[in-house]
Chain A
């Protein structure tokens, strides 16, 4: 049984070694002006999928804008925006089924929202009420990962557990270009390949890890090339082309579901804004570079194609904008609700049963709080 499996894997590797390498240029189906790069538009994803994707991107961008405003209003501590990366965000969620899992990073809030997690709960981490605001099992979205690449081996474990039970779950695990330098990225790809689990590793190469450019992370021909070293097929795709992303990611998810093992996809995109509101991007990159990427905007590109193909009119576009506005309002209203965190929660979730030490410490805090309330008022100012 075991030798047979290894033989299959060996044959697979030998036959497919060249196929594991990504295409020489990122896959692009719509150019920055929205013109198909293929003669036969039947090669594009179905019109319904593209329209759904555009609606998702309009909402994702509105969500990014709303969250940034909430930071300026002091409602959120910080917001790492995916502005400009909406195609990657939406495609990552759109290619998955309900039974699948999504593993997002801190910058992938829009992907979590696209998958249906309540945006108010998604922003819980950044609002500061608790470390993670939503139930990961409800929509099968893992907690937003703040350390880099540490969520990737988790994704492999989730996929392996599903495979052991004979489920057809696929896990899509997101990370950025900087995270590919972390050991956990390598260990996760290697584990996934060795155990041949259904994980799609989706790297959003947005060119910067805070201030450090891609050239300081790697000199590999592309991040997608890293796959072949593990026996994982890699592909690179224009990360601002939703049509290409849906095409490439759907194919990767399909292969993973069919038992062909893990897949690596690199989306070439750009972080249009600073790392967070606390960062100053002008210290490490020029306006020209940003302007060049602005011309490749994923929303404008798909909008232009769909209008040109007669698939989108003003009424439909207005409906997209309305839906985005409703989500923004829901987000705004939800974040405006001041939740007073319960101090007892600090001790409640550390263990399934609090240790005697935590019980004592909780009593101490209770006692402090019971004495604090009146004494604050009594203190002369």
Chain B
């Protein structure tokens, strides 16, 4: 469905469609862009994210590989060393682990090792996180592994517009980007302005909902939950601000601090197990940098420190509106 405004063309797309559109536009604009991975060819990916790309651009541009994640990642290193911009798909978060050595020891380090002589402009797309009733090994929130590795950018969109624009920027980046696609949001629809440049780029957090009492900090699949919690809190007379990080690395210290300082209270929300997590890092950074503005310790609402649960129990692992509101209630309110 297309609506036309005087300035920009807007389309309502699902997140999966927005990613597909970003890949298609990148393939069309730059002949060095390649899309590869398991089932990304004629099938169009298990989530149909690469639907139609092989038909439109041919086998040389969008193609299936042998089923070997380390091989895919290592192969992409060579492609990127030699003038290409590969976009590789790891079919599921937990299936990306065989590629870990290539990601950590080569993709992340090549630029530094060679003093900037060898750049690796490649994107690792990872359908990630839970909430879709996936069986074992299909629902990991693996962002901390990547965020802990210097040399990688780590991006997690929360809506179709960011999915499109952040992926376009990731493909254009001279540095490797881990692009985390929240599976739960693949079918969520939103407006995408395809001609306006997409607003702030990688490394910039945005305020999704203004608020004055406390700041909810989230990224990827947790942003819609945070927005829902803020909506519920508003009905109880509490005004919650929601910050969407959009990129974990680079992390927007300035933007996050400014937001937290404006309210004086903060809750960090993420699906991943909380111990040694991105949420922990954010809480620590906010504590160090915004201490004098804080009326209460920073709270975290995260997954428990357990392997991701089976589908019938996963609702207990995911940050919920209730858990977020309980954490907000704990922020040492003077009227409590």
| Chief secondary structure at chain A's binding surface | helix
Q: Is the CB of A349 within 8 A of B111?
A: yes
Chain A residues in 8 Å Cβ range of B109: 131
Q: Does B95 contact A (CB under 8 A)?
A: no
Given the known A-B contacts A157-B80, A355-B249, are A191 and B115 also in contact in the complex, defined by CB atoms under 8 Å? Answer: no
Q: Is the CB of B71 within 8 A of A184?
A: yes
Chain A residues in 8 Å Cβ range of B161: none
Residue in A1, A152, A349, A355 whose Cβ sees the most chain B Cβ within 10 Å: A349
Q: Is the CB of A154 within 8 A of B111?
A: no
Q: Is the CB of A352 within 8 A of B71?
A: no
Q: Is the CB of B118 within 8 A of A136?
A: yes
Q: Does B199 contact A (CB under 8 A)?
A: no
Chain A residues in 8 Å Cβ range of B117: 135-137
Q: Is the CB of A154 within 8 A of B78?
A: yes
Chain B residues in 8 Å Cβ range of A10: none
Q: Is the CB of A131 within 8 A of B112?
A: yes
Q: Is the CB of B66 within 8 A of A350?
A: no
Chain A residues in 8 Å Cβ range of B101: 147, 150, 184
Q: Is the CB of B250 within 8 A of A143?
A: no
Closest chain-A Cβ to B96's Cβ sits at a distance in Å of 15
Closest chain-A Cβ to B268's Cβ sits at a distance in Å of 17
Number of A positions contacting B (CB below 8 A): 41
Among residues of B, the one whose C-beta sits closest to the C-beta of A130 is B115
Q: Does B311 contact A (CB under 8 A)?
A: no
Within 8 A of A (CB), among B207-252: 249-252
Given the known A-B contacts A2-B59, A187-B71, A191-B66, are A136 and B78 also in contact in the complex, defined by CB atoms under 8 Å? Answer: no
Q: Is the CB of A156 within 8 A of B118?
A: no
Closest chain-B Cβ to A40's Cβ sits at a distance in Å of 40
Residue in A136, A161, A162 whose Cβ sees the most chain B Cβ within 10 Å: A161
Q: Does B29 contact A (CB under 8 A)?
A: no
Type the 1/0 row for B150-174, where 1 means its CB is closer than 8 Å to any CB of A. 1101000000000000000000011
In the A-B complex, the 9 residue pairs with the smallest Cβ-Cβ separation, listed nearest first, are: A157-B78, A153-B74, A187-B71, A161-B82, A355-B250, A158-B78, A154-B78, A157-B79, A131-B113
**Chain B residues in the interface with A (C-beta under 8 A):** 34, 59-60, 65-66, 68, 70-71, 73-84, 86, 98, 101-102, 105-106, 109-119, 150-151, 153, 173-175, 203, 249-254
